[in-house]
Amino acid sequence: MSTIRVRYAETDQMGIAHHAEYFAWFEVGRTDLLRHSGTTYRQLEADGLRLPVIEATARYLRPVLYDDVLEVRTEVTTIGGARVGFTYEVRRQGTEGPLATGTTEHAAVDAQGRPRRLPDTLRRSLA
């Protein structure tokens, strides 16, 4: 789980978080999940692996407001030969139920953008 405080720059004139910010919060959750699994994006890239987003969704259930403290809960949903998928829930500390949910799907590619298999070590750490 990742904790984020909504910054003023992430909101509109009404103090509501802009819809695009959720994808940045999903990235924080995904990065933290990888780190807790024993690796980082930096290490993956040093090993010649890239995980570009090939599909992303978000469902906005309730508004997120300036200065809210959010919990981003991230889980691995699929691990294929050359793909990995994540789900996300954005929650406000102290309230019930998600404010937003989302998914991302990632392709495994090498530094030149060619498809490659996910390394077994990564597959095991995320399973």
pLDDT tens for each residue of 9-51? 999 999 999 999 999 999 999 999 999 999 999 999 999 999 9
Verify whether residue 12 is a known catalytic residue: yes
pLDDT at 118: 93
Q: Find out whether 104 and 86 touch, Cβ atoms under 8 Å.
A: yes
Total of domains in the chain: 1
pLDDT at 94: 82
pLDDT band at 4 (very low <50, low <70, confident <90, very high): very high
Q: Which residues constitute the domain of residue 69?
A: 2-126
CA distance 62 to 45: 36
The CATH number of residue 115's host domain is: 3.10.129.10
Measure the N-to-C terminal CA separation of the chain; round to a whole number of Å.
Answer: 16
pLDDT at 93: 84
Cα 47 to Cα 23, 68, 80, 83, 119, distances in angstroms:
25, 37, 19, 17, 10
Q: Which tens digit of pLDDT belongs to each residue from 62-99?
A: 999 999 999 999 999 999 999 999 999 999 988 889 99
